[in-house]
Structures are given as C-alpha cells and as structure tokens.
Amino acid sequence: MATSSRLNLLFFSFLIASGTISVVSGAVFTIRNSCSFTVWPGILTGNGAQLSDGGFTLAPGASVTVTPPAGWSGRIWGRTGCNFDGSGAGSCQTGDCGNKLKCNGAGGAPPATLAEFTIGNGGANDFYDVSLVDGYNVKMGITTSGGSGNCQNVGCTSDLNANCPNDLRVSASGNVVACKSACEAFGKPEYCCTGAFNTPQTCPPTDYSRIFKSACPKAYSYAYDDASSTFTCANANYAIVFCP
C-alpha cells in the first residue's frame, strides 16, 4: 500500500535514530471495546516483539492489556463482522488479516482505522497517531495517562461510515461497513501521493481527504497530513478504545 508505506518509513525511522532495541517495558496498552458489538483487534509489529499473537476477540465492554517493549513500533486496528471456528480460521467483513483470528505478522486489509505507535527508548518521546490513510471502518481513540510533554488524546470518533461518499463506500448486507480512502478506491497518483505527486508540495489535500479531516481533525487524513496528525508523549501508558 503506497500511502501507508510512507507512514511506516516515518515511524520506523524513529527507531533507527533511537539505537538498540531494549527489552525493558516502554508502555502499557489497554485495548478496550466500548462498541455495542464485538471487535477483533489486530496488531502488526513493525519492530520489536509480536504482541498477543497479533489478534484476539474483544466482546463489548471488555479490555485486554498488552505491554510492548521500549522501542516497539507497530499498529493496532479493529476487525469487524468476523466469524471464526474453533481453530481460529474464518474471515472478517473489514480489516481481515488473512482469514485467521491471530494475525501473527499479517496486516489488515484496508479500509481500516489504524492506531500507530513508536515507543521511545530510555525516556525518549513516544510517537503516536490515529490514521485514516488506509480508510475507516470503526471509531477509534487513543488516550494517554501518566506521561509528560505534549500528551494529547486523539482519534476519530465520528461515524464516517454514515457520512462516507458513495464512491468510497464498502457495504455488506445492505449496510455501509467501511469507508475507503480515495487512494484505495481510485488508485490514482494524486490520491496516493506517488509518482509525480510524491512530495507535500505536489500532493495537497483533496476533496476526499478534507471530508476525513473535517470529521476527525486529530487523525491522519492522507499521506502528507503530518503536521496536525502526529503526536508525542514520554513515559506514558495508552488506552486504545474502539467506539470511545
């Protein structure tokens, strides 16, 4: 995915700058489902230890705590409309990671709302964001606790499925279950910020990304939405909440 690969490079560059990965805990993630329906979180590790085998079931009102090591980098998303058998085989309407409950290193199929993190080493800043670069499927928020610095609660708490443009909609059983990014929907360089459009100067916001940004001002709306969408905090714990 061209648009999300740039974000991965941005976040993983912080790891390179920070030096050797430590086995010391860097933060605590509390992943909570405040939706009225079951969510199946997926976790993709970019650098560091795999967390919770990459996926699990989270009933309404339930929460799971995971502890990434310092230097960990990766993303968390919610899968919806899943059906798995006793062996963990199955599929999801949105965010599917290869027809299995435990993603184990597989990413989620777009469109999916993403929480992205790079956890600092030795008291260095954590970097985090909620991204709609790969589209949207479920409300998501990140809240901080116990940290220092410019720690902000961020996310996308608007129902973009209800307001998704017709040409970006993903439907199942007559309901809109996700909203594609313009890049995913059309594959054009001007939407994906590729080719001749691979710089901030040549890839400005589009009418589609502005819809995302207007609904969720503290979330990434497209690949070059860095200035108002990446946040930092040091020595914090984080709650990643579906349907906050």
What are the structural domains, with CATH classification, of the chain? 2-242 (2.60.110.10)
Phi, then psi, of 212 in degrees rounded to 5:
-65, -45
Asked if pLDDT for residue 16 goes beyond 50, the answer is: no
Listed in sequence order, the residues at least 6 apart from 7 whose beta carbon sits closer than 8 Å to its beta carbon are 116, 131, 133, 220, 223
Q: Which two tokens stand for residue 207?
A: 């009418």
Q: What is the phi-psi region of residue 235: left when phi exceeds 0, alpha when psi lies from -120 to 50, beta otherwise?
A: left
When pLDDT is averaged across residues 156-175 and rounded to a whole number, the result is 96
Whether the CB-CB separation of 152 and 231 falls below 8 Å is answered with yes
What does the pLDDT look like over 198-211, one tens digit per residue?
Answer: 999 999 999 999 99
Provide the pLDDT for residue 59: 98
When pLDDT is averaged across residues 219-225 and rounded to a whole number, the result is 95
What does the pLDDT look like over 177-203, one tens digit per residue?
Answer: 999 999 999 999 999 999 999 999 999
- Express as a percent the part of the chain with pLDDT over 70: 89
Mean per-residue pLDDT over the chain, rounded: 90
Q: What is the pTM of this model?
A: 0.89
Place of tokens 């970097």: 127
- Express as a percent the part of the chain with pLDDT over 90: 86
Q: How many CA atoms lie within 13 A of 219 on its CB side?
A: 29
- Residue predicted with more confidence, 25 or 220: 220
